[in-house]
Amino acid sequence: MVAQQVGHFPPRPVPQVAGGQEAADRRLTGVRVAVCNFREPAQSVAGGAEEYAWQVGRHLLAQGASVHFLTGREPGQAGRERRDGIELRRMGNRYLVYPLVALWLLLRRRRFDVVIDCMNGIPFFAPLVVSRRTTVICLVHHVHDRQFHAFFPRALARLGCFIEGPVARLLYRRRTTVTVSESSRAELRERLGWLAPIEVIPNGGPAVRPVATPVGGAAVEGDPVVAYLGRLVGHKRVERVVDLVPELRDNRPGLHVHVVGRGPEYEPLARRVHEFRERGGAGRVTLHGFLAEAEKNAVLSAARLAVTASEFEGWGLTVIEAAALGVPTVAYDVAGLRDSVREGVTGWLVREGESLAEVVDRALEELSDPVRRAEVQRACRSWAAEFSWGRTGARMTGLITAELEQKGHVRPLAFRLAAGESHTP
């Protein structure tokens, strides 16, 4: 499951541990956790932030915690659902989710030991509505200030920046903050003046294998093949990837761009592709929309290069997914992506003064050498192997355990009995 696999979220087994020493090893037995996130992975434009929050929730559950996932609600979704052992509570649209989640927590302010408050530009204000004894961890993937100004009217953008900056900086100053990359930590300090201690807990990585299964009964077209994997939303700038077709038509007449993902930008992209074809331009673009895992991996495996054109990222989950298949990525030299792409080793970064097309063309030229391509493929797979959701969850578990111990959290009776400790009524 990755960013573009929206709406395809089959139940996944949760590790079961029972009795004796095994139960004692479940470090969070009896701990009650609430994860507050803007979306959940089954929603239409869910992405890497949702996958991170959900995978962390699953790991905490496997460590013995009870987990509630508080999030927004899309039309047609139930308000309440149990999935993977996690209690889902959906409430409100993209604007109402914040006050409704805060109210829900306020009415249950003493029920939770830990709240993971995921700040997607706007926080859930958990420190104001839960008990003082409740551990609140603020999770920030990247700074949104430029994103506010890129996609909202000036007044609304200024309000968003004010909440993300001065308001959140003071509200969470005594709460540990988690972010996913060193460059995001630097931006929190430098651009927001963040006061709280910051821990870096990177994203995990998918366990994927190359798949040679043709897509739709036909081979993946193009020589070379360039792939985009992810959500089709405005800030991902997928149109820049599509525009590689006309921009490189002279140097790469066989270039074929394959776009895998879904989202609100699908129709505008489809119109753009139709215009290219109307003009009779060389090269082609295929918009696959959502693909099942095997078909998606077949497209990625056939690609010479993956391209992401986003300028706002905290990490690059799809970069690591492509790398796991031996496919390098071209991305902009921005916070997050410069952490997930190792320049000249597992991909190439578009620096200031360079165009995306120039760097893609240079990368394709370099990869045309079979020896160099094999070297890059090996480096990609080695790099991707360093990331797993198990490691991400283990580090979050360690942080939560330390926070609870610091507050003198008493282990629940069920935990003590499972560990074989005596109990006097």
- Give domain limits for the chain: 20-204+388-418, 225-384
pLDDT at 336 > cutoff 90: no
Amino acid at 238: V
Query: Using CB atoms within 10 A of its CB, is residue 186 exposed (0-12), middle (13-18) or buried (19+)?
Result: middle
Looking at residue 283, its pLDDT comes to 60
Could you check whether the bond before residue 370 is cis, i.e. omega within 30 degrees of 0?
no
| pLDDT band for position 216 (cuts 50, 70, 90) | low
Are 276 and 249 in contact by the 8 Å Cβ rule? The answer is no
**Nearest CA among 219, 236, 238 for reference residue 303:** 219
Q: Does the pLDDT of residue 191 top 70, yes or no?
A: yes
**What integer best gives the mean pLDDT of the chain?**
85
Is the sign of the CA dihedral 213, 217, 222, 227 positive or negative? negative
**pLDDT surpasses 90 at 416:** no
pLDDT for position 292: 84
The pLDDT of residue 419: 44
pLDDT at 215: 55
Query: Is the separation of the CB atoms in 178 and 129 below 8 Å?
Result: no
Beta carbons within 8 Å of 323's beta carbon, 6+ residues apart: 329, 346, 347, 380, 381, 383, 384
- Decide if pLDDT at 417 tops 80: no
Residue 411 has pLDDT above 60, yes or no: no
pLDDT band at residue 372 under the 50/70/90 scheme: very high
Same fold: 20-204+388-418 with 225-384: yes
Q: Identify whether the C-beta of residue 309 lies closer than 8 Å to the C-beta of residue 240.
A: yes
Question: Model confidence over 32-68: pLDDT tens digits?
Answer: 999 999 999 888 778 888 999 999 999 999 999 999 9
What's the CATH code, domain 20-204+388-418?
A: 3.40.50.2000
Q: How far is the C-alpha of 230 from the C-alpha of 208, rounded, in Å?
A: 16
Order across the sheet with 177-179: list the strands: 80-83, 86-90, 66-71, 32-36, 114-118, 135-139, 177-179, 198-200
pLDDT tens-digit map of 112-147: 999 999 998 899 999 999 999 999 999 999 888 777
CA 276 to chain centre: 32
pLDDT at 19 over 70: no
Q: Are 60 and 68 in contact (CB under 8 A)?
A: no
Helix (H, G, I), strand (E, B) or coil at 33: strand
| pTM of full prediction above 0.85 | no
* Residues near 271 by beta carbon (within 8 Å), at least 6 away in sequence: none
| Residue 53: closest CA among 189, 232, 42 | 42
Q: Which fold has domain 225-384?
A: Rossmann fold (3.40.50)
Mean pLDDT (whole number) for 90-108: 94
pLDDT (0 to 100) of residue 219: 67
Cα dihedral sign, 151-155-159-165: positive
